[in-house]
Amino acid sequence: MDDLVSILKQTNSNLYLYVLCFFISVLFVYKLTRRSKLNPPPSPPKLPILGNFLQLGNLPHRTFRTLCEKHGPLMLLHLGQTPLLVVQSAELCKEICSTHDVAFANRFQTATGKIFFYERKDVAFAPYGEEWRQKKKLCVVELLSQKRVRSFHPIIKEEVAELLSNIRKACESKDSSVINLTDMLIEIANTIVCRCVLGISNDSSSSFRIQGRKMVNQFADIFIGDFFPWLGFIDTLGGKIAASKATFKVIDGVFDEVIAQHKKRRENNQSYSNDFVGILLELQESGELKFELTNHSIKAIVMLPAETKEIDMDEMIALTLTKKIPLHLVPTLHSF
């Protein structure tokens, strides 16, 4: 009897081993067959599960260049479970962006993209389709067209005059011998964008500016769930999701206040202001669009970083102006 029981246990163990080997073989054959059909671009050796993550290093752009020199101008990397196509040829970029633009129209979806852009209601991360085309057309015509940009010239002239005045004051000051133009140029760019798009001044001390900086940093941060969906709970337990939602809540409150001010102006029998939010609200009220333009859609479209993100590169050259006595900087306004 004992011999029979031991034989049955050994048989069951062997059976499990055979079944496991069978499924592994089927999976291996399936992957080989699938690879041969897809014919992917060349790819450097990768680790199981991690893929090519450990090969990126601190300067991924340099790593991409080095790997492309070895594997060709079109290379496939695997960051966890996420495939990444690296293109280093201008001809291939042109073919991807023009000939096969529809195939590459959808963007990689990230956790912060869903949080900050109202579940992909913006232009950058929205799925390709008719609504995306209409929103893109709306931005091109109502924000980037030559006529619309010309209407923003008074704002641009005013801010440029303020910039030149600040530079002149800094040159006349005896506190320091170097003027950092980088911060000034970033400041004027942010202020012009905020005034043209939202109709508000982007004060560096405002909560909107502070939360905007946080948003840029959080948006650029690495979330494990973006590359390993089955490990997304780690981002939640680590507090990254909660921190991003807290930042979004503050920025969303600013947008709600901006929209409320525009609508209050309309209720007082005044026309909407000439900024982008006012234009979108006017189109929303007219009902002329081919898609439903909700307040969330408006906020997603105008969701812009409050500060330009600087690229941390060794080759980056800082913009500075060294004062030489008797140097005098005289600002002169030119017509646009």
Distance CA 28, CA 127 (A): 33
What is the CATH code for 130-322? 1.10.630.10
Mean pLDDT of the region 271-298: 86
Instruction: Give the pLDDT score at 210.
Output: 80
Instruction: Give the pLDDT score at 245.
Output: 94
Q: Does the pLDDT of residue 176 top 60, yes or no?
A: yes
Mean pLDDT of the region 252-271: 86
What is the per-residue pLDDT across 37-66, written as a single tens digit (0 to 9) for each? 567 888 899 888 888 888 888 888 888 889
Residue type at 222? I
Enter the pTM of the model: 0.73
Q: Where are the domains of the chain?
A: 65-104, 130-322
Instruction: Give the pLDDT score at 170.
Output: 84
CA 87 to chain centre: 19
CB-count exposure of residue 150 (10 Å: 0-12, 13-18, 19+): exposed
Banded model confidence at residue 260, pLDDT cuts 50, 70, 90: very high
Distance CA 236, CA 167 (A): 45
What is the per-residue pLDDT across 83-139, written as a single tens digit (0 to 9) for each? 888 998 889 888 888 888 888 888 888 899 889 999 888 888 888 888 888 988 888
Closest listed residue to residue 187, CA positions, set 175, 201, 173: 201
What is the per-residue pLDDT across 309-319, written as a single tens digit (0 to 9) for each? 444 444 433 44
| Helix (H/G/I), strand (E/B), else coil: 120 | coil
Q: Does the pLDDT of residue 8 top 90, yes or no?
A: no
Residue 45 sits at φ, ψ, to 5 deg, of -55, 145
